[in-house]
Amino acid sequence: MDTTEFLIKLILVISVFGISLLIAMYSTYAERKVAAFLQDRLGPNRAGPFGILQPVADGVKMFMKEEIIPANADKFLFIAGPSLMMLTACMTGVVIPWGGELTIGRNTFNLQITDVNIGLLYIFGVVSIGVYGIMIGAWASNNKYSLMGGLRASSQMISYELAMGISIIALVMTTGTLSTKEIVEQQSSWHWNILYQPLGFLIFLVCAFAETNRTPFDLPECETELIGGFHTEYSSMKLGFYLFAEYINMFISSAILATLYFGGYNFPFIESWGLSPNAVTIIGTLLFFGKIFFFIFFFMWVRWTIPRFRYDQLMNLGWKVMIPLALFNLFITGIITLWRNGAF
Amino acid sequence: MQALTNRSMVVVNKKMTWMERIYLPAIIGGLMITIRHLFKKKVTIQYPEQERPRSAVYRGWHVLKRDEQGRENCTACGLCAVACPAEAITMTAAERKPGEEHLYREEKYASVYEINMLRCIFCGLCEEACPKEAIFLTDRIVPSGMLRENFIFGKDKLVEGVEPDNRIDVSKRARAHRTY
Ligand code: SF4
Ligand code: SF4
């Protein structure tokens, strides 16, 4: 890897990191605004015009709060929990193809940090480490509510990861690759995977809600029964990390949804506009972010529509509905693939 | 049984049909309902700039009345403080000196009269207890503030002005009182 390439990658890494943080920051603002608007209210509108500075104010508030580590908590793990959560949340952005190729001078570079050929597996691996952040934090708090939250989080994530994985296998069967870049390239123009894998998309979407602990699957942190669940004992910026990581996860999940099922940076008929390749790339990236924002909005929209599941309902849905459905989807996909390859 | 409103629904514990069991139509229906609210008129009243209309007999910021000649009505009898369920009122009584007849109506008056607006529940019992028609609640809202000390309202904030312009009209509340 020569110096220019290294520099370009470095810039890309920093900007992806910065953008995810920025988007996570403004997701908190958007969440409150969307919540307010869906409930016929106005939401935060005092800090700066339209309340634009609200996330900054929230951040300052988080930093100013007293830092408390409970006496009976395991100090090391107590700090490791939120750090791990934040770390894994920031790591998934690496394999997401943010755009096509950009040519500057003689150099052509990809708007993707790294195109590992097992991108999908990487995402899965990192996401499943994420639950350790919750479990470690919950365990280290030495508090029964936290422990309950942690237990719920882990069993929920494990249950839904299965269905999610199976729905992804069906997707891999149609695309024939695990590289996120190739998956996006295959969906050029309107050949979006949602058209080939509607059921798989639905399963993936529901599981994405469960994986990010968003309503209706926010049982690990439900305020009404568990006073905040796994982060009951957390204060100050450690709590901030947990909340922040949740928003980054939401952003990354939206990006993955858009990448896998909604064509990533592809858009129908963009080639026929006769634009220069660079312009196409930039428009594609913007459209990709548009899709991401739509999904983030969708996450929030659902949050203010559907009430939380009961725990047994959650498990029922996960094991008795989602997994059989995912298997069914896998089966159908297999048959169709065989049929298309002329096996019958 | 006749329904009281047209919105009542009979609850039956019937088995759900397949369409109902997959939940998706219901979820989409719910999403449509919430998205409609995104475009509805917002009900928020932006308080300091906008105010909700209040009735003339609203129970807010108290006033200590003066009589027609501009003398303070209050005689520091302490009945309001006794009546107050929130123990928000404290006062110090003083004797009227010769030459102060134009200031105080009775021989005894309140040299200090304080209401703690954070304790007050705006029940209006002080007003009912007062034998001198000295204290009334008005339709002014107690403004918000950052310091607790600022919510202890002394005579400077309670007694109305002498000039006709600075008088505070409580005729509606006073009339409401006389009915019982
Ligand atoms: S309104 Fe009620 S609570 Fe307030 S000072 Fe009067 S008696 Fe006390
Ligand atoms: S306000 Fe009325 S009740 Fe209270 S001390 Fe004065 S005269 Fe007595």
The count of other CB atoms within 10 Å of the CB of residue A28 is 19
- At A233, the amino acid letter reads E
Rounded Cα distance, A287 and A258, in Å: 10
Listed residue (A235, A185, A196) closest to A329, CA to CA: A196
Query: Which residues fall within 8 angstroms of residue A140, CB to CB, at 6 or more apart?
Result: A73, A74, A76, A77, A78, A80, A81
- Check residues B175 and A34 and name the one with the higher pLDDT: A34
């470095």: which residue's tokens?
Answer: A10
Tell me the CA distances in angstroms from B76 to A8, B70, B138, one per residue in order: 81, 17, 20
The count of other CB atoms within 10 Å of the CB of residue A163 is 25
pLDDT digits (tens, 9 = 90+) for A145-159: 888 888 888 888 888
Residues of A in contact with B31 (CB under 8 A): 301-302, 305
How many angstroms separate the alpha carbon of residue B87 from the centre of ligand 1? 8
Q: What 3-state DSSP class applies to A107?
A: strand
Residue B84 binned pLDDT confidence (cut-offs 50, 70, 90): very high
pLDDT at B82 over 90: yes
Question: What six digits make up the tokens of B151?
Answer: 């919510």
Q: What 3-state DSSP class applies to A217?
A: coil
Rounded Cα distance, A221 and A153, in Å: 8
Quick one: pLDDT at residue B121?
A: 93
Q: How far is B59 from chain A (nearest CA, A)?
A: 27
Rounded Cα distance, A71 and A65, in Å: 18
pLDDT digits (tens, 9 = 90+) for A246-302: 888 888 889 888 888 888 787 777 667 777 777 888 888 888 889 999 999 999 888
Residue A338 binned pLDDT confidence (cut-offs 50, 70, 90): confident
Quick one: pLDDT at residue B114?
A: 93
pLDDT digits (tens, 9 = 90+) for A176-188: 888 888 888 888 7
Q: How far is A34 from chain B (nearest CA, A)?
A: 8
Residues of A in contact with B35 (CB under 8 A): 38, 301
pLDDT at B180 over 60: no
Rounded Cα distance, A259 and A119, in Å: 12
A150 and A77 in contact (C-beta within 8 Å)? no
**Interface residue of A305, A313, A322 to substitute, partner B, most B CBs within 10 Å:** A305
The ipTM, to two decimals, is 0.74
pLDDT at A91 over 60: yes
Residue nearest (by alpha carbon) to ligand 1 atom 3: B120
pLDDT at B89 over 90: yes
Do the Cβ atoms of A41 and B40 come within 8 Å? Answer: no
pLDDT digits (tens, 9 = 90+) for A108-126: 777 777 777 888 888 888 8
Element (H, E) at A104: strand A101-104
pLDDT digits (tens, 9 = 90+) for A306-324: 888 888 888 888 888 889 9
B109 and B96 in contact (C-beta within 8 Å)? yes
Rounded Cα distance, B103 and B108, in Å: 11
Rounded Cα distance, A205 and A212, in Å: 11
Residue A24 binned pLDDT confidence (cut-offs 50, 70, 90): confident
Cβ of B137 closer than 6 Å to ligand 2, yes or no, is: no
């409401």: which residue's tokens?
Answer: B176
Residues of A in contact with B43 (CB under 8 A): 40-41
A209 and A296 in contact (C-beta within 8 Å)? no
CA dihedral (B102, B105, B111, B115) in degrees, to 10, reads -120
Lowest mean pLDDT among A70-74, B19-23, B63-67, B144-148: B19-23
Rounded Cα distance, B137 and B115, in Å: 12
pLDDT digits (tens, 9 = 90+) for A30-85: 888 888 888 888 888 888 888 888 888 888 888 888 888 888 878 888 888 888 88
A304: closest chain B residue by CA: B34
Mutation test residue for ligand 2: of B82, B106, B132, the one with most atoms within 8 Å of CB: B132
The residues spanned by each domain of chain A are 68-100+114-340
The residues spanned by each domain of chain B are 62-166
B62-166 has which CATH code?
A: 3.30.70.3270
- Check residues A97 and A330 and name the one with the higher pLDDT: A330
A28 and A243 in contact (C-beta within 8 Å)? yes
A212 and A250 in contact (C-beta within 8 Å)? yes
How many angstroms separate the alpha carbon of residue B66 from the centre of ligand 2? 12
Query: Which residues fall within 8 angstroms of residue A225, CB to CB, at 6 or more apart?
Result: none
Rounded Cα distance, A2 and A283, in Å: 28
Quick one: pLDDT at residue A120?
A: 84
pLDDT at A101 over 80: no
